[in-house]
Amino acid sequence: MQHPFLKNKNFIPYIVAWLLVAAIYGFALYSFYGLEWKTALEDSLVFHLLFMGLGLAYWFNVRYSSFDKSQMFNQVISHLAAATLSIVAGVFLFKTIMNLFEHEDTYTEFMVSSYPLRAALGVLYYAIVVLIYYLILYYDDLNQKTQRQAQLESMLKSSELEMLKSQINPHFIFNSLNSISSLTIINPEQAREMVVKLSDFLRYSLGKENHQMNSVDDEINNIMLYLDIERVRFGERLKVEKEVSKEVKDFKLPNLILQPLFENSIKHGIYESLGEITIQLKAWKEGGLLKIEVSNEFDPNAVSRKGKGIGLKNVSERLSLIYGVNQLLEVKRGDNIFTVRLDVPQTEIE
Amino acid sequence: MKAIIIDDENLARQLIKTYLSKFEEIEVVAECADGFEGLKAIQQHKPNLIFLDIQMPKITGFEMLELVENPPVVIFSTAFDQYAIKAFELNATDYLLKPYSETRFQEAVKKALAKVGQKENNEEEFENLKESRAQSESLDRIVVKTGNKIQILALTEVHHFEAQDDYVAIHSIEGKFLKLIRMKTLEQGLPEGDFVRIHRSHIVNVKEIEKLELYEKDSYLLYLKSGKTLPVSRTGHSKLKEVLNY
């Protein structure tokens, strides 16, 4: 760390403070000790300018000591030594300099008698300056810690987001690859088509950054790719209906936030039923909010397997982390229809 | 030799069929899209070999297989299932990880063909598979069969399990069901803390306990909310103490 009074323009308040003390001291000499005002001024200026210079050097005694408890004894010794040394030097220099000027005899007498007082003042100045240095160090340390804390918090938030972000289901990828493997024999053209779709989907889903907001159009196109691929796997069993109002096409929403909703629909709709399942997507504008509704039919008699609700909880948490508002996700469970609705605020968020 | 393919994806079935066409001795007698169809087809055709997908609608391949008496040789296939793969690796049962090569497929089939005919071996192997699967994944439901009907029971609906020879009787809200499984295997698969084995032949749902009474020195009786009274063994009592924290 640089010297706090030498960097930037901090030397100005430092000098001003010393001159102020010098002025008060000089005035005291003039009014209480009966010195002539010129002599009082000389005395005060020489004495305080000397300590102003010495005060700058005290920094190094503070800077290169530590707050470590085991070093306490060493520190006390080093401060005592520094204080003694600087006071002896200060008073000696003061005497030498003052002797260069001519004075009336009363002043010389006064000067000799004032050494103990000056030594005491030196101790006081030493203590105050060192204390100020410690305060500065402490404040600086605190500042750094707060900054680091804030940094850690934002890192934590982004890693939390990373975790909550939809992770593409490996089951989906490997099953799709198996379908492609089969198609290369049965229908090579469709195999090529599916490879392209899967690549497009992966490119979009893997390359996205955390905080990135995407347009409704882009996100829905990606979801449609996903559903197209699933349709190749499940054939006629999967039906998709889409109803997106034109005015929301350029609205923004967090990337891949819809993916877990559709994975859920597939999981609880298709995986837990033997018949046809329709998945419905609606998006519209309402009161400045982008509303997105995803619903799927399900078999009410299915005894569902573990892991229920975690995907939805993640989406909800991710929304509240990004927008700072809770309850942006609403779930409705009908007799045989499961609906999730997202309310996405449309303010610019970075 | 008869084979059945059970997979919920048409394309996956097609692929197996195509690969199988190179084995002249194997005839595909049925293709099924879920475990219910699969079970029916197995009972009807008595195949020597089945190709079984694990993740399927309603009931998994494993759950279906638990309902089959004298199971045939099985080649499992799965895309991604850490528990299943762990269970397989502990056993000799072969499995195909989707997507798989034709060479890998042929290897699996040749291995299976060598096994067809060694029935006893096969049953023992399947029992081991059930056990290692129970060790690696805890259950949340149980699939049972009554007559031709398959029923899926959530564990929360089960009051208690009772050993009955080779079977386990499941007493639940929906009534009593029999399932061919060993008590030890069942115990391992049940979620810890929710179920306690209180006796050699009794496992009880902790939430169904009404009260515990001292019967004789070192011997307790457990009263269930369903009205049943069950004996508690000494080790059973110390397990209960641990789970219920008293």
The pLDDT mean for chain A works out to 86
pLDDT for B134 equals: 78
Strands B73-78 and B49-53: parallel
Count of CB contacts below 8 A, A vs B? 72
> What is the mean predicted confidence (pLDDT) over B8-32?
95
ipTM for this model: 0.83
Give yes or no for a contact between B180 and B69, defined as CB atoms under 8 angstroms apart: yes
How far is B207 from B204, CA to CA, in rounded Å? 9
Q: B97 contacts in A (CB within 8 Å)?
A: 174
CA distance A137 to chain B (A): 54
**What residue of B is the nearest CA neighbor of A270?**
B57
Q: CB–CB of A186 and B18 under 8 A? A: yes
Q: CB–CB of A180 and B140 under 8 A? A: no
Distances (CA, A) of A321 to A130, A261, A343: 46, 18, 14
Burial B121-147 (b: 16+ CB within 10 A, else e): ebeebbebbbbbbbebbebbbbbbbee
Identify the H or E element spanning A277.
strand A277-286
| Domain map (residue ranges) of chain B | 2-136, 141-244
How far is B144 from B76, CA to CA, in rounded Å? 21
Confidence of residue A304 (pLDDT cuts 50, 70, 90): low
How far is A246 from A283, CA to CA, in rounded Å? 9
Give yes or no for a contact between A317 and A164, defined as CB atoms under 8 angstroms apart: yes
Residue A296's nearest CA partner among A323, A336, A348 is A336
DSSP H helices in chain B: 10-20, 35-45, 61-66, 82-89, 102-115, 119-136, 183-189, 234-244
Q: B80 contacts in A (CB within 8 Å)?
A: 170-171, 174
CA A43, A47, A50 angle in degrees (round to 5)?
145
Chain B residues contacting A via beta carbons under 8 Å:
8-12, 14-15, 18, 33-34, 36, 55-58, 79-81, 97-100, 140-141, 152-154
Does A306 score more than 60 pLDDT? no
Q: A306 contacts in B (CB within 8 Å)?
A: 140
Neighbours of A142 (CB within 10 A): 10
pLDDT tens for A278-298 read: 999 999 999 889 999 999 998
pLDDT tens for A190-237 read: 999 999 999 999 988 887 665 578 899 999 999 999 999 999 888 888
How far is B47 from B15, CA to CA, in rounded Å? 19
In chain A, the domains with their CATH numbers are 11-162 (no CATH), 165-345 (3.30.565.10)
Handedness of CA A10, A12, A15, A18 (dihedral sign): negative
Residue whose entry in the numeric block shows the structure tokens 């509240």: A320
pLDDT tens for B74-114 read: 999 999 777 777 777 777 678 899 999 999 999 999 989 98
Residue B183's nearest CA partner among B228, B129, B233, B131 is B131
Q: Which CATH architecture has domain B2-136?
A: 3-Layer(aba) Sandwich (3.40)
Burial B180-209 (b: 16+ CB within 10 A, else e): bbbbebbbbbbeeeebbbbbebbbbbeebb
How far is B246 from B68, CA to CA, in rounded Å? 42
Identify the H or E element spanning A213.
strand A213-215
pLDDT for B200 equals: 92
Of residues B15, B57, B80, nearest to A273 (C-beta): B57
Give the CATH number of domain B141-244: 2.40.50.1020
> What is the mean predicted confidence (pLDDT) over A230-250?
91
Does B117 score more than 80 pLDDT? no
Q: B155 contacts in A (CB within 8 Å)?
A: none
pTM of the shown model = 0.69
Does A309 score more than 80 pLDDT? no
Q: Which residues pair with A286 in a beta bridge?
A: A289
How far is B243 from B212, CA to CA, in rounded Å? 14
Q: Same topology for domains B2-136 and B141-244, yes or no? A: no
How far is A256 from A213, CA to CA, in rounded Å? 9
pLDDT tens for B139-182 read: 888 999 888 788 889 999 999 999 998 899 999 998 999 998 88
pLDDT for A69 equals: 66
How far is B178 from B153, CA to CA, in rounded Å? 12
Q: Report chain A's C-alpha Rg in angstroms.
A: 39
CA dihedral A84, A86, A88, A91 (to 10 degrees): -140
Report helix, strand or coil for B28.
strand
User: Which of B11, B100, B105 to probe the A interface (max A CBs under 10 A)?
Assistant: B11
Task: Please report how many Cα atoms fall inside a 13 Å half-sphere around the Cα of residue A228, on the Cβ side.
Answer: 17
Neighbours of A197 (CB within 10 A): 18
Burial B65-99 (b: 16+ CB within 10 A, else e): bbbbeebbbbbbbbbbbebbbebbeebebbbbbbb
Does A39 score more than 90 pLDDT? no
Pick left, alpha or beta for residue B129 (phi over 0 → left; psi -120 to 50 → alpha; otherwise beta): alpha
Neighbours of B115 (CB within 10 A): 20
pLDDT tens for A85-135 read: 988 988 888 888 888 887 777 788 888 888 888 889 889 999 999 999 989
pLDDT for A271 equals: 82
**Token duo for residue A229:** 């691929």
CA A173, A179, A184 angle in degrees (round to 5)?
125
